[in-house]
Structure 1
Amino acid sequence: MENIIKYYEHQCEDNRLMADRAHSLEYLTTIRYLDRICSKQVKILDACAGTGAYCFYLAKKGNAVIAGDIVTNNINIIKEKQKINPILKDIYTGDICNLSKFENESFDVVLCLGAFYHLHDENERRKAMLECKRVTKNGGNIVVAYLNRFASFVNNFSNEPDNIHEILNQFYTGNKNVFYRSTPEEIENLMVECKIVKKHNIATDGLSFMYSKQLESISEIEFEEYLNYHYSTCENENILGYSLHGLFIGEK
């Protein structure tokens, strides 16, 4: 955990999600699906809130949102934003593997939009999901973001073909420094084990990492056409593993 905290002292998720069109696909696709399950006033726990990319968006739509993160630096950024626009119900620093501050069935929706990028240990991933499930109301939704090791292999090999040994090691283990890469099957199997019913498994940014320059070069109208294509194919299992980022939405 110390390595994760240290890493995010020098990173800003808000900047990453809006760096260019390829990166914005992850954000645009995620809020598209969040809008479906948060279409009315609901109580939401954003348990890996980062710097607040999603919690403030959801709170502005009238939802009651509590935001938490394990990284103190991220929480400090959220608190500064809250001073300008105080719409979150609460903000806390904490670990998603321990949500003991919340009672059972406290939330309509629980977001885990980051922890699975870093939980190398299978038992920790299971513990995180069981905690998310515990604090979710019956019939409520659990949303989990994850990294794909198939897309990561293609991306890394395209950029560093001379580093094939290390890239393959990362592929087979899923591990790279503070990051953990999963697979759609692994995520779905974990959810079955935790008795969380699949609603969607989504390729949030598709294959955009392979043609990010092309996305930047097209007009706004053409980008809208691309978005329509992306939205119509992002749940297609043929490309699911080749999206750098995945999003699982399940029901308790």
Structure 2
Amino acid sequence: MVELDPLIRGFYRDRYREDDRLARSGHGQLEFVRTQELLRRFLPVPPATVLDVGGATGVHAKWLAADGYSVHLVDPVVEHVEKAAAVGGFGASVGDARRLSQATDSVDVTLLLGPLYHLVELDDRVQALREASRVTRPGGLVVAAGISRYAGLLEYGCNGGLTEENLQLFTAAFATGRNHDDPEGFTNAHFHQVDELRGEFEAAGLRDVEVLGVEGPAAPVLHNAAPEDVARLLPSAVRLARLLESDPRVISAGFHFLAFGRV
């Protein structure tokens, strides 16, 4: 049985449009290009098998299948799975990252490009990573995304939305990593520090762990860019993100991390 916080389920069912999240804004396009670039760098060659846990409506499963991978998507939101199944080219089923139905050692790569956001308890995040490790063959790859602890401060600090009245909300989330559901914004979530995400991978028994920045320091610029400016700004932002992706002094200046570990 899938146990999903009702606030999180309602957020994705009623308040948030997941289908085109990575296409409708400059930041979304930057996140997509960089996620695609990093996955293609680390993944084994097709036709390796990929389990896309928390894959939502299939934005990554779609291009991975087109690249020649054998992909199956799992997501806890029924409406997401229905939309993903309609895409074609990959399988899709309802499931929980902490209790996967897949057999042990059955896939070459397991992706968690969203589950760690909404597993707000440390034990649940480590359990999801252990499950990913269980279903991934020895020597295989586990990849997980985390939201930067700085993301909220960066977003609101750069769009004019950070005020004396709401400052405490963002500093509290920065201090604890816990974001509480906001009817006007994001839902319940955990925001990571780089070393924290690495530590969770290691606690799950994964080895050769590497954590890279996704969007880089230009994320707030692309987030606030006018649609007509995105095409001009995007190539430079990608180059900057690529150049600084592993620099410990600026890796947290983007909105997301990707962590890679071996089983």
TM-score calculated relative to the size of structure 2: 0.86
Tell me how far 1:226 sits from its aligned partner: 3.5
Tell me how far 1:20 sits from its aligned partner: 2.3
CA contact (8 A) 2:55 2:75 kept: yes
Tell me how far 1:147 sits from its aligned partner: 0.6
Tell me how far 1:225 sits from its aligned partner: 3.6
Tell me how far 1:231 sits from its aligned partner: 1.4
Which deviations, in whole Å up to 9, do the C-alpha atoms of 1:57-88 show, x marking residues without a partner?
11111111111100011011112222xxxx11
Moved more, 32-41 or 138-147: 32-41
CA contact (8 A) 2:26 2:225 kept: no
Name the structure 2 match of 1:245: 256
Tell me how far 1:222 sits from its aligned partner: 5.8
Quick one: structure 1 residues 112 and 135, their matched pair in 2 at CA, closer, same or farther if it must change by over 3 Å?
same
CA RMSD of aligned residues (A): 1.9
Which deviations, in whole Å up to 9, do the C-alpha atoms of 1:91-127 show, x marking residues without a partner?
110100001x211111100000101111111110111
CA contact (8 A) 1:55 1:67 kept: yes
Tell me how far 1:168 sits from its aligned partner: 1.6
Name the structure 1 match of 2:12: 8
Quick one: structure 1 residues 179 and 247, their matched pair in 2 at CA, closer, same or farther if it must change by over 3 Å?
same
State the aligned residue count: 246
Name the SS of the counterpart of 1:9 in structure 2.
helix
Quick one: structure 1 residues 157 and 215, their matched pair in 2 at CA, closer, same or farther if it must change by over 3 Å?
closer
Which deviations, in whole Å up to 9, do the C-alpha atoms of 1:190-223 show, x marking residues without a partner?
1122221245312111223432245856584664
Answer yes or no: is 1:170 the counterpart of 2:173. Answer: yes
Answer yes or no: is 1:160 the counterpart of 2:170. Answer: no
Greater than 4 Å deviation, 4+ residue runs: 213-222
User: What CA distance in whole angstroms lies between the structure 2 residues aligned with 1:154 and 1:91?
Assistant: 35
Moved more, 36-45 or 216-225: 216-225
Tell me how far 1:21 sits from its aligned partner: 2.4
Q: Which has the higher helix share?
A: 1
Residue of structure 2 aligned with 1:31, choices 16, 19, 36: 36
CA contact (8 A) 1:148 1:244 kept: yes
User: What CA distance in whole angstroms lies between the structure 2 residues aligned with 1:17 and 1:218?
Assistant: 16
Name the SS of the counterpart of 1:78 in structure 2.
helix
Name the SS of the counterpart of 1:206 in structure 2.
coil
Moved more, 112-121 or 190-199: 190-199
Quick one: structure 1 residues 219 and 118, their matched pair in 2 at CA, closer, same or farther if it must change by over 3 Å?
closer
Name the structure 2 match of 1:78: 84
Name the structure 1 match of 2:148: 148
Name the SS of the counterpart of 1:161 in structure 2.
coil
Name the SS of the counterpart of 1:181 in structure 2.
strand
Answer yes or no: is 1:180 the counterpart of 2:190. Answer: yes
Quick one: structure 1 residues 236 and 13, their matched pair in 2 at CA, closer, same or farther if it must change by over 3 Å?
farther
Answer yes or no: is 1:57 the counterpart of 2:63. Answer: yes
User: What CA distance in whole angstroms lies between the structure 2 residues aligned with 1:165 and 1:227?
Assistant: 32
Unaligned runs of at least 5 residues, structure 1: none
User: What CA distance in whole angstroms lies between the structure 1 residues aligned with 2:9 and 2:126?
Assistant: 21
Residue of structure 2 aligned with 1:224, choices 235, 241, 260: 235
Quick one: structure 1 residues 203 and 31, their matched pair in 2 at CA, closer, same or farther if it must change by over 3 Å?
same
Moved more, 126-135 or 4-13: 4-13
Residue of structure 2 aligned with 1:46, choices 48, 52, 72: 52
Quick one: structure 1 residues 214 and 7, their matched pair in 2 at CA, closer, same or farther if it must change by over 3 Å?
closer
CA contact (8 A) 2:215 2:256 kept: yes
Unaligned runs of at least 5 residues, structure 2: 182-187
Moved more, 57-66 or 169-178: 169-178
User: What CA distance in whole angstroms lies between the structure 2 residues aligned with 1:24 and 1:221?
Assistant: 12
